[in-house]
Amino acid sequence: MKNETVLGHILTLLTIIIWGTTFVSTKVLLRDFTPIEILFFRFTLGYLSLWLIRPRLPSAGERTTRRQEVFFAAAGLCGVTLYFLLENIALTYTFASNVGVIISVAPFFTALLAAWLLDGEPLRKRFFVGFGAALTGIILIGLNGNFVLQLHPAGDILATLAAVVWACYSILMKKIGAFRINMVVCTRKVFFYGLLFMLPALFIFDCRLGLERFASPVNTLNMLYLGVGASAICFVTWNWAVRILGAVKTTVYIYLVPVVTVVSSVIILHETITPLAVVGTALTLAGLVVSQK
């Protein structure tokens, strides 16, 4: 049991490290793709990758009931379609710094929903202490750049909804984990429904499927990183970790995303880091430790 718990923490940490560096790939791809196009290509590639990882159809023990399919559909709607659409649209109405801080509140919403809907994940005082420390640290990390926290109601509300939607996804994956179905199969089903619900958005946002853009090795490599690494592999490892650790303990690791972003910015983009960002990183890590203790 202890070894399984350690595995859960390792899987979550590896996932967060990759997710925290995806901003570089996304930033590069935005030169030739719109946000909805990146989203569609990314999860289509992720879905196909999961078929390559496990090409056979679900076995007899993995066939799902209609009730279970509803959970998969809800997870696809929340974790793939709504979360990323809300986050991307929010970025068009408000500062990226606002979205970054608000999305980091997802563990708080997850804890509230878990205490209400899940057995064995009660709220404790140290969670709120850790949440306060981590959120303060995340705001200080934002001050490493041109951070201006101003209210932009439309964008800020959409970002808040994105955080709530991710909390719902985490709860749904905890429920799906109880089905004891292979996690690659579970994630593939989630991606299928996510892409299905995404189809109307492709027409609304005028998505262009011009494949000639993949003639550029830079575009191809970055899309592979997002589709295979950050989507196919990371969603499997994240969902597996939720099954082991629970929704709250896993989601708390989202606090680390800004930390990974700052470190990768220094290493990859050679950006400077301020003393405020160093203090913010320390507070965020302390908040994570307190929340997980």
Write down the pTM of the prediction: 0.84
Tokens of 76: 């696809």
Helix and strand numbers (H, E) in the chain are: 14, 0
Give the list of residues 6+ apart from residue 206 with CB closer than 8 angstroms, or none.
Answer: none
Q: What pLDDT, on a 0 to 100 scale, did the predictor assign at position 147?
A: 47
Distance CA 243, CA 174 (A): 6
In this predicted structure, the answer to whether residue 224 has a pLDDT above a threshold of 90 is yes
Domain residue ranges in the chain: 2-292
Most confident of 122-126, 136-140, 142-146, 183-187: 183-187
Tokens of 22: 């995806």
In this predicted structure, the answer to whether residue 238 has a pLDDT above a threshold of 90 is yes
Question: Across residues 144-153, what is the average pLDDT?
Answer: 55
> For residue 99, which phi and psi values (nearest 5 degrees)?
-60, -45
Each residue of 25-58: pLDDT tens digit? 887 888 898 888 999 999 999 999 999 998 877 6
Determine whether 4 is exposed, middle or buried from the number of CB atoms within 10 Å of its CB (0-12, 13-18, 19+).
exposed
Question: Across residues 150-165, what is the average pLDDT?
Answer: 80
The 3-class secondary structure across 187-230, one letter per residue, is HHHHHHHHHHHHHHHHHHCCCCCCHHHHHCHHHHHHHHHHHHHH
Each residue of 52-85: pLDDT tens digit? 998 877 666 667 889 999 999 999 999 999 998 8
In this predicted structure, the answer to whether residue 237 has a pLDDT above a threshold of 90 is yes
In this predicted structure, the answer to whether residue 284 has a pLDDT above a threshold of 90 is no
Q: What pLDDT, on a 0 to 100 scale, did the predictor assign at position 247?
A: 87
Burial 183-192 (b: 16+ CB within 10 A, else e): bbbbbbbbbb
- CA dihedral sign, ordered 169, 106, 51, 174: negative
